[in-house]
């Protein structure tokens, strides 16, 4: 299984972050990575991150602090 993130603007359009696409062996690895890099993703124009397992959406989360 491959875990990846899809990045979107608030309007749902795709964003390609400066670091490119990362792949992870597990959900925990993917979640740890997003926790460490979300601020840079916001600077790259990302509003929402969508976690995918083998291309299937698991969940969506906002990268903006509430």
**pLDDT digit string (tens) for 35-58?**
999 999 999 899 999 999 999 999
Tokens standing for residue 26: 């597990």
What's CA 22's distance to the chain center, in Å? 9
Confidence bin at 65 (pLDDT 50/70/90): confident
Q: List all residues 6 or more positions away from 60 whose beta carbon is below 8 Å from its beta carbon.
A: 48, 49, 50, 51
Could you tell me the pTM of the whole model?
0.90
């Amino acid at each position: 299984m491959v875990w990846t993130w899809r990045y979107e603007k608030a309007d749902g359009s795709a964003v390609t972050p400066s670091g490119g696409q990362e792949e992870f062996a597990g959900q925990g690895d993917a979640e740890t990575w997003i926790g460490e890099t979300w601020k840079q993703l916001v600077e790259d124009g990302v509003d929402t991150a969508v976690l995918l397992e083998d291309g299937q959406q698991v969940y969506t989360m906002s990268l903006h602090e509430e």
